[in-house]
Chain A
Amino acid sequence: MAILASVALLVTEHRNQQLELLRTTLSVFIDPIKYLVNLPTVMIERTNESISSYTTLKDENKRLREDQLIHQTQLLKLEALEKENIRLRALLENSFKLGEQVLIAELLSVNMAPYEHIVVVNKGTRFGVHPQQPVLDANGVVGQVFRALPFSSEIMLITDLNHAIPVQVNRNGLLTIAVGSGQLNKLNLPFLPGNADIRPGDLLITSGLGGTFPQGYPVAVVDEFTSQPNKPFATITATPKAQLDRNRELMIVWSKSTPVPLITKPATTEPETKTHADK
């Protein structure tokens, strides 16, 4: 009977997502274990913080202040650029995407499966997290929310074997897809021909195609480009910009999926043409 029940469960979940409710309910009982396992790491960090000396803290504070000043001045410039961008887009009669909202989530140090790059963070559906949300850190794209539970959510890193992210080369806008390699410091770009205009050192940014990731975030830097004459595609590898194995704070991003048109189009023309076509 147990076998029948488990096979039934497996089949139903594989076919469709009807069992989310069951998983959510069970996860409420299970998530305390994750937090319990995370506890030693948190305690070590806390003690580290409390025994670090006054001078170290002072130095760090000073450095952070300087960093903040630099970033703020850069932001001033960004605002001006953004306004200019909006004006230019208005001239082109193009729509412009609104900014994104972020939520800072902390990594729980648990290990779900050693051969999969899935990490757990401490923010879940209680904070409005939902599947397929992009996740970033200070340097670049980390991954996407794979499954959101009430008290935690699972995040698939961009280096997971089953993960692919649409990217473009920042230098010339060449579009391609970066596929995870299963190693934390490597992405593959398997779909570019041997004569593609891409060189080592090129920055890859999200292209915004596919709708999951917002456009323009840095993903990786191209490492190596080897074109083999006997194969249709070149072998290209890239190193992720985000520090996938070091960061404990991640940012979960909400992007407004509906672009807001800057110039209101005359709404009457389109339905009319449609009705004409129908007739």
Chain B
Amino acid sequence: MLINNSYYGFGRIILTIVLAMGLRIAPLPGIIAAFNPDWVLLILIYWSLALPERVGIFHAWTFGLLTDVLTGRLLGQYALAYSIVIYICLKLHKRLRQFPIFQQGLFIFFCLLLSQLLLFFIKNLQHPAQLHSTFWLPVFTGTLCWPVVYTAMRFIRISRSIK
């Protein structure tokens, strides 16, 4: 019974991440597309903070790899970025839970920036190309989206009692 329930909850977690993957490739018109934040990472960060014993580096790595396939990147770059960010989140999750939302937002900003920096670094190793400055926009929009993600996910977690 207990095991069954935990599998049920895990299905919900995966569903939210799959939804985030859908949002990641949503067809947004023109310039707005550049603002689309990294939803998958935001959701992964939330789950790693809320349920660190359920969502760990392995999940981050797996969903990172799936995101690589989804967005047609070199295999492993999102996997690397996500697992490093989630490692930091897991290390600091006890402290982060006590933070007010503003301070959490600051932390999220640095997480997203780190992830984007890693992606930029890998892209540059692959073939040095000039990047548009809009490459960094998702970091800012992601930070702005964090309170919304946090509240929505908290609501889902409590109302569905995912443990």
Contact = CB atoms under 8 A, between A and B. Distances in A.
B149 interface: no
B71 A112 contact: yes
A115 B27 contact: no
A6 B80 contact: yes
Nearest to B77: A10
Contact of B77 (A2, A6, A23): A6
Interface string A124-164: 00000000000000000000001100000010000001100
B138 to A, nearest CB: 9
A237 B130 CA distance: 19
Interface stretch (B2-10, B28-36, B47-55, B94-102): B28-36
Interface string B117-135: 0000010011101111011
A96 to B, nearest CB: 37
Interface stretch (A26-34, A55-63, A203-211): A26-34
A132 to B, nearest CB: 15
B16 to A, nearest CB: 13
Interface stretch (B62-70, B105-113, B154-162): B62-70
A76 interface: no
B58 to A, nearest CB: 7
Nearest to B32: A114
B40 to A, nearest CB: 11
Nearest to B122: A10
Contact of B71 (A26, A37, A41, A113): A113
Given A3-B80, A10-B75, A13-B74, A23 B131 contact: no
| Chief secondary structure at chain B's binding surface | helix
Given A13-B74, A112-B72, A118-B72, A5 B79 contact: yes
Contacts of B58: 2
Contact of B79 (A6, A23, A109, A114): A6
A113 B83 CA distance: 21
A7 interface: yes
B41 interface: no
A6 B34 contact: no
Nearest to A113: B71
Contact of B75 (A13, A111, A182): A13
A41 B87 CA distance: 38
B152 interface: no
Contacts of A22: 75
B124 to A, nearest CB: 12
Contacts of B71: 112-113
Contact of B27 (A7, A36, A37, A161): A37
9 contacts: A9-B65, A9-B79, A19-B75, A26-B66, A30-B21, A33-B22, A37-B27, A110-B25, A115-B135
The 8 closest A-B pairs by CB, nearest first: A9-B76, A6-B80, A2-B83, A109-B27, A6-B76, A114-B33, A6-B79, A10-B76
